[in-house]
C-alpha cells in the first residue's frame, strides 16, 4: 500500500489547490504587501516574514485566473529550492491526506501553461484537489 501524501489545501477562484505539507512553513492571515515597482505582474510584492523579506506571489495572476475585487486574504509561506516565498490565496482549507490511487494526470483539455503548474488531480469525494508543482510556481519568467 503506497503511502498517502499530505496536502495543505487552499482556494483560489473557487478551485481547490494543494501544496505538500512539508513545504509549507506557516499560514498567515495578517500581512502587509509592499509593492515592488518594475516587478513582473505575478509578483504581488514583498512581505516582512518575521524579519525575513520574502517575495509574495499573487496566485490568481500566477495561475492565470480572473482577478478578484477582494484582495487575497491568506498567505502561505512556503519553502522550495532553498528559497522562502509566499503564496497569496483566497481561503485556506484543511490538510488533506491524498491517496495515490485517486490521482490522475491532468486531462488533455487542460491548457499548456496550467499543465506545467498543476501535477494533475486527486479525485476527492466531493471535489477535485489540484496539487501544485511548487518549483514551477517559483520559476517566474523574468
Partner 1 sequence: MFRDLLGHRKFSSILGASVSGYKPAKCLTSVIREFYKSSVLNCIGPFLSRDKDCGHGSDISPVDEIVREFLIESNENLDRLDRNLVELEKSPRDQELLADIFRTIHSIKGTTGFLSFHHLEAVAHAGENLLSRLRDGLLVLNPAITTGLLAMVDAIREMLKLIESTEADGDNSYPELVASINALMEAPAKGDTVNAVAPVAIAAAAAPQTILAEAPMQAETIQTELSQAELSPVEPQFQRSGEDRRKQDIPVDVERRSGKDRRESSADSNIRVDVSLLERLMDLVGELVLTRNQIVQFAAAQRDSSFSSASQKLNLVTSDLREIIMKTRLQPIQNVMGKFPRMVRDLAIACEKQVRIETTGQETELDRTILEAIKDPLTHAVRNSVDHGIETPAVRLAAGKPAEGTLSLRAFHEGGQVNIEISDDGAGIDPERIRAKAIEKGLITTQQAERMSQHEIISLVFKPGFSTAAKITNVSGRGVGMDVVRTNIEKIGGTVDIQSVPGQGSTVRMKIPLTLAIIPVLIVRSAGQRFAIPQVSLLELLRLEAGRKDQSVEMVHGAPVYRLRGNLLPLLFLGRELKQTSNNANSGLTNADQLTIVVLQAEGQHFGLVVDEIHDAEEIVVKPLGQHLKHITAFSGATVMGDGEVALILDIVGLAKGGRLLTDAKKAAMQEALSARKSEAQSAEVETQELLLFRTSRGRRTAVALSSVDRLEEFKVSQFELAGQKLVVQYRGQLLPIVNLSDKFDTVQNESTDELLKVLVCHHQGERIGVVVDQILDVAQEAVSIQERWKDGQSQGSAVIQKQVTDFLDLNTIIASVRGGAMFSENSSFPENLAFAEAAQ
Q: Which H helix or E strand runs over 115?
A: helix 112-117
Pick the closer one to partner 1 by CB: 50 or 69: 50
The rounded distance, in Å, linking the Cα atoms of 117 and 104 is: 15
What residues numbered 110-129 form the site for partner 1, per CB under 8 A?
none
Q: Output the smallest distance, CB 98 to partner 1, in A.
A: 29
Nearer to partner 1, 52 or 111 (CB): 52
In 3D space, the residue among 7, 32, 22 whose CA is nearest the CA of residue 127 turns out to be 7
According to CB under 8 A, which residues from 4 to 63 bind partner 1? 32, 34-40, 43, 45-48, 50-55, 57
Q: Closest approach of Cβ 50 to partner 1, in Å?
A: 7
Joined grid coordinates for residue 23: 513545504
Residue 51 CA to residue 108 CA, distance in Å, equals: 44
All cell numbers assigned to 13: 477562484
Residues in contact with partner 1 by the rule CB under 8 A: 32, 34-40, 43, 45-48, 50-55, 57, 83, 85, 138, 140, 142
Amino acid at each position: 500500500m503506497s503511502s498517502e501524501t499530505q496536502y495543505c489545501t487552499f482556494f483560489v477562484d473557487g478551485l481547490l489547490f494543494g501544496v505538500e505539507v512539508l513545504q509549507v512553513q506557516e499560514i498567515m492571515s495578517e500581512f502587509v504587501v509592499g509593492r515592488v515597482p518594475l516587478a513582473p505582474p505575478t509578483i504581488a510584492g514583498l512581505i516582512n516574514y518575521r524579519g525575513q523579506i520574502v517575495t509574495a506571489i499573487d496566485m490568481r495572476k500566477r495561475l492565470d485566473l480572473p482577478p478578484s475585487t477582494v484582495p487575497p486574504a491568506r498567505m502561505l509561506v512556503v519553502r522550495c529550492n532553498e528559497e522562502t516565498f509566499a503564496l497569496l490565496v483566497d481561503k485556506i482549507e484543511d490538510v488533506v491526506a491524498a491517496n495515490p490511487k485517486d490521482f490522475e494526470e491532468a486531462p488533455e483539455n487542460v491548457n499548456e501553461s496550467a499543465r506545467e503548474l498543476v501535477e494533475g488531480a486527486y479525485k476527492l469525494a466531493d471535489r477535485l484537489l489540484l496539487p501544485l508543482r511548487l518549483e514551477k510556481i517559483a520559476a517566474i519568467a523574468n
